Amino acid sequence: MSNAPKRISAPLSAKQSLWLFGTAVLVFAPLAPYLPEWLSTLTSLIMVWRGVLLWRHASLPPRWLLVVMVFAGVAGIAWHFHGLFGRNPGVALLALLFALKLLEMRSVRDGFAVVLLGYFLTLTQFFYAQNIGNAAVTLAGVALTTATLVILNHRRQPAGRALRLAGLMLLQAVPFMLVLFVLFPRVQGPLWGLPVDAFSGLTGLSDSMTPGSISQLSQSDAIAFRAKFTGEFEGRAPPQIVLYWRGPVLSLFDGRTWKLGRVFVSSRLPYLPRGAAVNYAVTLEPHYKPWLFAMELPATIPAEGLIASDYQLLAKSPVRVRLRYQMTSYPEIMAGVDEAPAILREALQLPALFNPRARALAEQWRAELGANDTGIIRRMLDFYRRQTFIYTLSPPLLGNHSVDEFLFDSKRGFCEHFSAGFVFMMRAAGIPARVVTGYQGGELNPIDGTLIVRQSDAHAWAEVWLKGRGWLRIDPTAAVAPTRIELNLARALPVGEARPLLARPEFMWLLQMRYRWDALANVWNQWVLGYNPQRQRELLANLGMPSPDWQKMTAVLTGFCGILLLGYTVLAIYQRQRLSPVQVAWNRFSKILARRGLPRKPWEGPYAYAERITANLSVEQSAMVADIDEVVDIYARLRYTETSPIQATKLLQDMKGRISRLAQRKP
């Protein structure tokens, strides 16, 4: 059995405890919105409790109470998330244990544990957001945590010096960060994309549509994707009226909900390009669905995707990371002229016993117009124009016969109401039709010329199939609210109806600020978050590594890191040899006394040195005592205490003057 003495960690000082508490607050605060409300409240109360104990210099709670709180908290997390495995339960457990650790923090060793947990908790912030603001908050947390680590190692370290030292260490880490960022093999997809909880908290188009589903998206300012046009539309965008971004196509209707139909996918276009081409690049935000968005109709298929038989682009796997792809579209393409009979039959199906009034009206039009399908389409659009239909974000709730109630009773709806009513009437009249969802329009950022398409631009329109012409886009909303298609959503709403905040005239200054922020965020997304495996391969190819394998990457990475370490080593040696003016003066003082037979021993401090030599001075040397004592006192003050720059300059001048007088004295 070892008889080695047990190492006891020093107790925390009040200053160290205060720094740890401040670090804990800064690290935890950004995570609070992502935790369950009860857990955020509990951890906040624990931190307030610790703050009160620190303020009152009171005793920490007993360990048995902390054990009870640990088991209760873990049980609550397991109950809330139905388990303890996954991203969200893991972060919740870490936050709980981090907060409880503050209540048993007694020694410096406990402080080191809190700092380590703080670094891990800071890292988890990137699980939920990776934007510029989140990166800035995370950097501030890392800087304060590092400064706290300095205080734990040197409790007498002034606050300003600790922060400067932390900043210096972070600056020294920047070159390593850049080398690792550029050369470390990129992983496609987030490392934290764990099952179940990785798909939560995202908004966007769904694979189904019910009355009101798209109008809910219209209140969201979240960005769906960005488009950067080239060629003819460099720095601008095509007319708003042609900006239809095709998404899920809904062919099945059960009387209430429109759903995806049966499709097959291919890597080849099911139509031939026609007309003028529009070239652009899309930067798609992650939405955990397979939809890829492109202007109608796409003439290229991204490497990451396929095209469905209903002309929608689909990714080969759900879009879990920001995706950038080049596109070409031809707005004048004719598609589906030779459509498969099975698809046309599906586009005519209607559930029985639903919406009898709409069926009767459609059958009446068919009887009046005979085989004139174009006439029936015009009749339906005229019906929308001539009746008192209102385009609104807050339509009333509809019952089982939703189309009847909308067309003949409420006459208030959003784009999904108008498109669903139109498609139902077409099918009832024997014309194949389907609902297309996606986005319409977008907002051109004048700062960088990028078109920003937000969730508030979500839209639904219709497609009808006519013999000899194929599928034609018909937007019934344009019949009721043409300004929605020609301009934007805000201008199409009735006077007095609530608009998105930044669409209000009084907030135009805020809109300009958002333009600048969006432009900066786009640069961040393209060059930082968008640095994916493909871009890394392109960069390495430009650097002379067309097909790097892991051995070459490891060698290059090791070489660059070795060069950086060598550079830092040389710099450290140079700075170690470079002495401060105070140390230079002290060394001169020591040499002068050494020539008089009073050398300084390597281990002696200034006061011990002065006490020894003044006791051994001869009668002739006794006149030097005052200067020696004053030089030693000034050196100690300049070296070991804080002084203002002006005072330090005066003291150094006094020290040098006294040393010069000592040098002029005869031995």
Catalytic residue annotation: 415, 459, 475
Which of 89, 113, 91 has its CA nearest to residue 102?
113
Residue type, 492: A
**Do 493 and 392 contact (CB within 8 A), yes or no?**
yes
Strands 313-315 and 291-292: antiparallel
DSSP state of 37: H
- What is the side-by-side strand order in the sheet with 291-292? 265-266, 305-308, 313-315, 291-292
Q: Inter-axis angle of helices 415-428 and 356-369, to 10 degrees?
A: 60
What is d(CA 597, CA 613) in angstroms, rounded to the nearest whole number? 10
What is d(CA 208, CA 253) in angstroms, rounded to the nearest whole number? 10
Which of 222, 216, 309 has its CA nearest to residue 267?
309
Assign 553 to helix, strand or coil: helix
CA distances from 81 to 92, 195, 423 (A): 10, 13, 42
Backbone angles phi, psi at 185, to 5 degrees: -55, 130
**Do 288 and 318 contact (CB within 8 A), yes or no?**
yes
* The token pair that represents 601 in the structure block: 């021993």
* Locus of tokens 């995707």: 305
Assign 13 to helix, strand or coil: coil
Cα dihedral 402, 406, 407, 408 sign: positive
For residue 510, whether the previous peptide bond is cis, meaning omega lies within 30 degrees of 0, is: no
* The token pair that represents 380 in the structure block: 């339906």
**Angle at CA of residue 498, ends 493 and 502, nearest 5°:** 95
* The token pair that represents 589 in the structure block: 């003082």
**Do 328 and 360 contact (CB within 8 A), yes or no?**
no
Which of 662, 567, 578 has its CA nearest to residue 623?
662
Run of H or E including 245: strand 244-253
Those residues whose C-beta lies under 8 Å from the C-beta of residue 274, and which sit 6 or more positions away, are: 330, 332, 333, 334
350 alpha-carbon distance from chain centroid: 44
Strands 458-466 and 470-474: antiparallel
Which of 420, 413, 425 has its CA nearest to residue 388?
413
518 alpha-carbon distance from chain centroid: 13
What is d(CA 634, CA 647) in angstroms, rounded to the nearest whole number? 11
What is d(CA 565, CA 561) in angstroms, rounded to the nearest whole number? 6
